[in-house]
Amino acid sequence: MTDPNVQPARAPTDWSNPARQRLIKQRYAAERRFRLAGFFAVALSVLALAVLLVTMVGNGLNGFRQTELSVTFDLPTLTSGASADSLRGASADAAIRSMDLQGIVGLAVEQEYGSDSRDYLTANAPFLLRDMLQDDPDMIARKAKIWLPVASPIDIAYKGRGTAEAEKIAATLKANEKLRSSFNWNFLSASDATDPADVGIWGALKGSLLTLIITLAIAFPVGVFAAIYLEEYAPKNKLTDLIEVSINNLAAVPSIIFGLLGLVVFLTWFQMPRSSSLVGGLTLALMTMPVIVIAGRNAIKAVPPSIREAALGIGASPIQVVFHHVLPLALPGILTGTIIGMARALGETAPLLMIGMVAFISSPPGGFTDAATALPVQIYLWSDEVNRGFVEKTSAAIIILLIFLLGMNALAIYLRNKFETRW
């Protein structure tokens, strides 16, 4: 009879045995390989991000700078003695319009730089002069030296990427200290234009902002209420299963389909204004909503049942349970889902193509019903341009888009942390 408690005798593992040693080595090697694979995966994505950021910033920083040419305006002669008083008061607008500012600018440049210089300045220069005259009517009675932005060929030549011909001009002007580089405020305040030296991002940025406000205002409440209903109230049956499957499928539908839906529903049936940020926002809301519903349901599901039971147990009504307890606890998760959906909406161009937001619009939208474009659309349009001056503007617009995205994420993280600590 053997004692069942006694283990059969077993020799201790012989670690110095070469076969064992090899096995151990193999194990360590496998460990190292695994770590290396992981390291390379991370390194690769960091590298990709670094290359993206370096090229974008490298190309794009120049887009935030503009080259200006010094032009001396002998305004009393050029305007044949217009008085400063005529530029004040009610008739000022008409007085300025009656002046041939385009001719005046062309003449002043020609006088200073010779007959080939008509194209040195951007088409925007006369309008800048107009604004200056409106701000300071007394200027008209004196000789003024004004820095005005140069046209794109000279602009990129000054930045070292132009054609040989333009670089020669830029070098001569630079040697005479007639060119300077300054921060391109115009890029932050203007809209699309044909000359890359005149373009700005504000129109597209405002369009994106208005569109996202509509998207958030529709998709967030609808998504959250749908999630609450499905999790807290809806009976579990075939119908709700079907709804659940549909919502999951909807989240994976290619975005262009939503564009077609928006075209038919909002433009054709409801006759809403084409290209407006209202229609864009509604279309993107359709796309974002399923993402919010799914994230919201998961977040609500993750709230422990004990919270609900405790609240019900001390006499809270179901609505109080939801709004006082479940929702605050689920909100960080819902916000994460919302921000993912909104970030996707921010980067989308395909649905906007169908509803006419991929367009040349040279003024910022004044409201939700005005024709607008959006940041990714603007980037797409500029990247398609033949003119080389648009390369740096495209990268600069991408930088703005990334900053916008970071700002949105930062807001979401702030809100999430705020609500997380409250409870």
Partner 1 sequence: MVKKISVLAFGSLALAACNDPAASGGAGGARQEIRIMGSSTVFPFAKAVAEAFQKGDSNRKNPIVESTGTGGGIEAFCAGIGSQTPDIANASRRIKKSEFETCKKNGVTEIVEIQIGIDGIALGESIKGPGFKLTNAEVYKALAANPFGKPNLTKKWSDVNPALPNIPIAVFGPPKTSGTRDAFAELILEAGCKTDAATKALKETNEDKYKAVCHDIRTDGAYKEQGENDNLIVQKLSANPNMLGVFGYSYMEENSTTVRGVALENVAPNYGAIATGRYPGARPLFIYVKKQHVDKVPGIKEYVAEFVSAGTKGSYLTKLGLIAAPDDVRKKAFDAAANMTIIDGADLK
Interacting residue ranges for partner 1, rule: CB under 8 A: 97, 123, 127, 163, 191, 193-194, 202, 206, 209-210, 213, 216-217, 267, 271, 273-276, 323, 327-328, 331, 356, 358-367, 369-371, 381, 384-386, 388, 419, 422
Q: Closest separation between CB of residue 98 and partner 1, Å?
A: 13
| Closer residue to partner 1 (CB): 76 or 328 | 328
Q: Closest separation between CB of residue 127 and partner 1, Å?
A: 7
Q: Closest separation between CB of residue 73 and partner 1, Å?
A: 20
User: 121: which DSSP letter?
Assistant: B
Q: Closest separation between CB of residue 275 and partner 1, Å?
A: 6
Chain centroid, CA 348 distance in Å: 10
Q: Closest separation between CB of residue 36 and partner 1, Å?
A: 37
- Which residues, including other chains, have CB under 8 Å from residue 291's CB and lie 6 or more apart? 223, 251, 337, 338, 340, 341, 344
Q: Closest separation between CB of residue 210 and partner 1, Å?
A: 5
- Are 70 and 147 a contacting pair, CB within 8 Å? yes
DSSP 237-283: SHHHHHHHHHHHHHHTS-HHHHHHHHIIIIIIIS-PPTTBHHHHHHH
| Closer residue to partner 1 (CB): 53 or 107 | 107
Q: What separation, in Å, do the N-terminal and C-terminal C-alpha atoms of the chain show?
A: 66
| Closer residue to partner 1 (CB): 45 or 363 | 363
Q: How far is CA 343 from each of CA 207, 395, 419, rounded to the nearest angstrom?
A: 15, 19, 21
Q: Closest separation between CB of residue 347 and partner 1, Å?
A: 19
* Residue 416: Cβ-neighbour burial (10 angstroms; 0-12, 13-18, 19+): middle
Name the β-bridge partners of 68. Answer: 149, 180
User: 383: which DSSP letter?
Assistant: H
Q: How far apart are CA 349 and CA 378, in angstroms?
A: 9
Q: How far apart are CA 197 and CA 69, in angstroms?
A: 13
Q: How far apart are CA 255 and CA 215, in angstroms?
A: 14
Spell 68-103 as b/e; 16+ CB within 10 A means b: bbebebebeebbeebeeebbeeeeeeebbeebebee
| Closer residue to partner 1 (CB): 2 or 271 | 271
Q: Closest separation between CB of residue 261 and partner 1, Å?
A: 17
| Closer residue to partner 1 (CB): 275 or 288 | 275
Pick from 347, 373, 375: which is nearest to 360 by CA? 373
Q: How far apart are CA 203 and CA 28, in angstroms?
A: 59
Q: Closest separation between CB of residue 364 and partner 1, Å?
A: 5
Q: Closest separation between CB of residue 383 and partner 1, Å?
A: 10
| Closer residue to partner 1 (CB): 68 or 192 | 192
